[in-house]
A and B are shown apart, each in its own frame.
Chain A
Amino acid sequence: MKVLVAVKRVIDYNVKVRVKSDRSDVDLANVKMALNPFCEIAVEEAVRLKEAGTASEVVVVSIGSKSCQEQLRTALALGADRAIQVEAADQLDSLSVARILQKIAEEESADLILLGKQAIDSDNNQTGQMLAALMDRPQATFASEVVVEGETLKVTREVDGGLQTLSLKLPAVVTTDLRLNEPRYASLPNIMKAKKKPLDVKTPEELGAQLAAGVELVSVEPPAERQAGIKVSSVEELVDKLRNEAKVVA
């Protein structure tokens, strides 16, 4: 079974982003960037399938400018075999990303395509579903457990009401949720080895992927800041405030 993992370069999850003063976008200059945490979980899952002898090869792909090669190297250090960078604008829209991923998945004849459930920058939570639709293949989003049974996947999903289990025939698309696994740290020898693993660069034109248009970013503003309130000194005072000041408790 061949596994394709889509990974995205995003702002580090510890960094609180600021809006540019001209409100055109957020300010990413000199901000620490990292592998999207959900993509890290996707890479870990793929590598575990390889270690278990279920997956034959793990290919990672990222779509963006050359800087995303850094995150591809991280994924290679975590255990992926090979990487592909598709040269495109950073912050390409999800439909374009999905169309490019479709071409790569076809070219690679991938059996399982793993993505993060959401990128923590755009918070869109849509690319995996779009890819599955374009390929007319089944999807299991928000996965917390993936079991491979021959040509079939049994996936447990974290849904609003609890957990749901689906059975999917391969090829299939799975997007990862937080509890799927705990990603490992890359060891220094593996980071060194990753530098020698193959990394191909392609373009959307070579792949024959048509880019979408449609959504325009008009402006970006900071959210309404909440003012810190007061400290109360006792539970009694708290209950009094909730009853008589905030009036949210009867």
Chain B
Amino acid sequence: MSILIITEHDNQSLKPVTLNLVTAAQQIGGDIDLLVAGENAQGAAEAAATIGGVRKVILADNAAYAHQLAENVSKLVVELADGYSHILAPGTTTGKNIAPRVAALLGVNQLSDIISVEAADTFKRPIYAGNAIATVKSADAVKVMTVRGTAFDAAEAAGGSAVIEACGAVHQHADVSFVGEELAKSDRPELTAASVVISGGRGMGNGENFELLNKVADKLGAAVGASRAAVDAGFVPNDMQVGQTGKMVAPELYIAVGISGAIQHLAGMKDSKVIVAINKDEEAPIFQVADYGLVADLFEAVPELENRL
């Protein structure tokens, strides 16, 4: 068996989720190759080559892949697919954008967001906002899947010395182009990779009040997240949404502040190791999953928390 991983990167560097995918691939078993499709992506390819247990890194460096548009990358992957038994992509917005196109072009179904490897053809994945876990078995010759990074440990980022093989294939769809992007700038760790996450909900009242959470986050080296209600209300940008239809997080410590605990929110954070809830309503469902619940007004509790840390 051999496995191709579509890496997550920003051309210069590799995103940590790639390491979790390598672990998933090791559990499947077989040779592991990594694809870096980008522009001026030598940096990301070099980082990929040092991951332990990787056979080779395929670097497709071309303007067509600069923004990893799904139309272009999917055709590249299909061209490379021959001989691979599994093609893995991260369950990120980039991975989810590309992998289903690959699957459709190869004429197979996709397994979305797998959380465990039971056998080389059998996997577990959450359905219904994580309220049920399905075991699915694929008879397809090539298994295309997205992987939930937080469900697998990170592989060693160092110790490997894989060869980097250049791939000159260029696929450029004529009818799509990149216009621009507005990326959130933050010195804090990435939400899905942080070991501590503090999230605010509608109870925060407005965007300025998130500063209270930022201060705690600075002390804990935490990332800051939010509920859908806080994003919809315009308190904070969309990239902070945690939940069934936002980001899935599983940190060591998750602190939910002014969040009621709707099933859609729980779906995105209930695999956290320790959960803290601060809410003034003692009946709030979030307390049913919290290891430590504090019934309090957040505007008093959060500044005090910051002081005591």
A35 to chain B, nearest CB (A): 16
CB of A123 within 8 A of CB of B112, answer yes
A229 and chain B: residue at smallest CB distance = B291
Query: In the complex, are the beta carbons of A214 and B140 less than 8 A apart?
Result: yes
0/1 interface trace, chain B 87-109, chain A, CB 8 Å (1 if under): 00000111011111111110111
Q: With A94-B109, A242-B276 given, is the CB distance from A120 to B244 under 8 Å?
A: yes
CB pair B293 A124 closer than 8 Å:
no
Q: Give 1 or 0 for each of B171-194: 1 = CB within 8 Å of chain A CB.
A: 001111111111110000000100
Contacts of B103 on A, CB cut-off 8 Å? 95, 126, 130
Contacting pair A123 B181 (CB below 8 A): no
Q: A179-226: which residues lie under 8 A (CB-CB) from chain B?
A: 179, 212-223, 226
Cα–Cα distance between A236 and B135 once the two chains are bound (Å): 43
Contact with A along B265-309 (1 / 0, CB 8 A): 000001001111000001000011111111110000100110011
Asked whether, in the complex, the Cβ of A229 is within 8 Å of the Cβ of B308, the reply is no
Bound together, the chains give a CA A17 to CA B263 distance in angstroms of 11
* B239, A159: Cβ atoms closer than 8 Å: yes
Contact present for B253 and A217 (CB under 8 Å): no
CB of A235 within 8 A of CB of B304, answer: yes
**Contact pattern, A 120-132, Cβ under 8 Å of B = 1, otherwise 0:** 1111111111111
Contact A218 B132 (CB under 8 A): no
Cβ of B252 < 8 Å from any Cβ of A?
yes
- How far is A214 from B238 in the complex, measured between Cα atoms in Å? 35
A246 to B94, CA, bound (A): 35
Q: From residue B286, how far is it (CB to closest CB) to chain A in Å?
A: 10
Chain B residue numbers with a CB within 8 Å of A120 are 128-129, 244-245
Q: Judge whether A167 is part of the interface by a CB distance below 8 angstroms.
A: yes
Knowing A130-B101, A214-B108, A215-B137, say if A230 contacts B132 (CB, 8 Å). Answer: no
A93 within 8 Å of B by Cβ? yes
Q: Taking CB as reference atom, which chain B residue is nearest A210?
A: B107
Kindly provide the distance from the CB of B215 to the nearest chain A CB, expressed in whole angstroms: 14
B112 contacts across to A, CB distance below 8 A: 122-126
Q: Is the CB of B183 within 8 A of A162?
A: yes
Closest to B91 in A: A125
**Contacting pair B109 A221 (CB below 8 A):** no
B107 touches which one: A93, A117, A139, A212 (CB < 8 A)?
A212
Q: Are A123 and B305 in contact (CB under 8 A)?
A: no
B292:A222 contact, CB within 8 angstroms: no
Please state if A138 and B109 are interface contacts (CB–CB under 8 Å): no
Question: Within 8 Å of chain B (Cβ to Cβ): is A67?
Answer: no
Q: A215-B138, A238-B305 are in contact. Are A17 and B132 (CB under 8 A)?
A: yes
Contact of A162 with B182 in the complex, beta carbons under 8 Å: yes
Using known A-B contacts A235-B294, A242-B274, determine if residue A214 contacts B109 with beta carbons closer than 8 Å: yes
Note all chain A residues with C-beta closer than 8 A to B199: none
Quick check: is A165 within 8 A (CB to CB) of the other chain? yes
Residue total for A at the interface (Cβ-Cβ under 8 A): 82
Complex partner residue of A123 from B71, B113, B177, CB under 8 angstroms: B113
Give the contacting residue for A220; candidates B100, B133, B228, B294; CB below 8 A.
Answer: B133
CB nearest neighbor in B for A165: B179
| Cross-interface CB contact of A179 among B130, B238, B291, cutoff 8 Å | B238
Q: When the two chains form their complex, are residues A166 and B176 in contact, meaning their CB atoms are under 8 A apart?
A: yes
Residues in chain B near residue A236, CB distance under 8 A:
308
Query: Is the pair B179, A154 in contact by a Cβ cutoff of 8 Å?
Result: yes
**Residues of A close to B231: CB separation below 8 A:** 178-179
Identify the closest chain B residue to A168 (Cβ): B176
Contacts of A124 in B (CB 8 A): 110, 112
A235 lies within 8 A of B296 (CB): yes
- Contact across chains for B237 and A230 when beta carbons are under 8 A apart: no
B107-140 contact mask (Cβ, 8 Å, vs A): 1 or 0: 1111111000000001000111111111111111
Most chain B beta-carbon contacts within 10 A, residue among A177, A217, A223: A223
> In the bound complex, how far is the Cα of B309 from the Cα of A166, in angstroms?
44
Task: Name the B residues within 8 Å of A138 (CB-CB).
Answer: 71, 173, 175-176
A218 and B136 in contact, given A122-B127, A133-B105, A159-B94 (Cβ under 8 angstroms) = yes
Given A124-B110, A138-B176, A248-B196, residue A232 in contact with residue B252 (CB < 8 A): no
> In the bound complex, how far is the Cα of B301 from the Cα of A148, in angstroms?
48
Q: List 12 A-B contacts (CB under 8 A).
A: A11-B128, A128-B100, A129-B101, A159-B94, A167-B178, A177-B245, A179-B238, A212-B107, A213-B139, A215-B137, A226-B288, A238-B276
Show the binding face of A for B, using Cβ within 8 Å.
11, 13, 16-19, 26, 38, 93-95, 98, 117-118, 120-134, 136-139, 141-142, 144, 154, 157-169, 172, 177-179, 212-223, 226, 228-232, 234-236, 238-239, 241-242, 246, 248-249
Q: Which A-B residue pairs are the 4 nearest by beta carbons? A: A229-B291, A126-B100, A129-B100, A138-B176
Interface residue ranges, B against A (CB under 8 Å):
67, 69-71, 74, 92-94, 96-105, 107-113, 122, 126-140, 173-184, 192, 196, 220, 228, 231-232, 237-239, 244-245, 247, 252-253, 263-264, 270, 273-276, 282, 287-296, 301, 304-305, 308-309
Could you list 7 further interchain pairs (A-B, Cβ under 8 angstroms) beyond the known A218-B122, A230-B291?
Answer: A94-B100, A95-B107, A123-B112, A123-B113, A162-B182, A222-B132, A226-B270
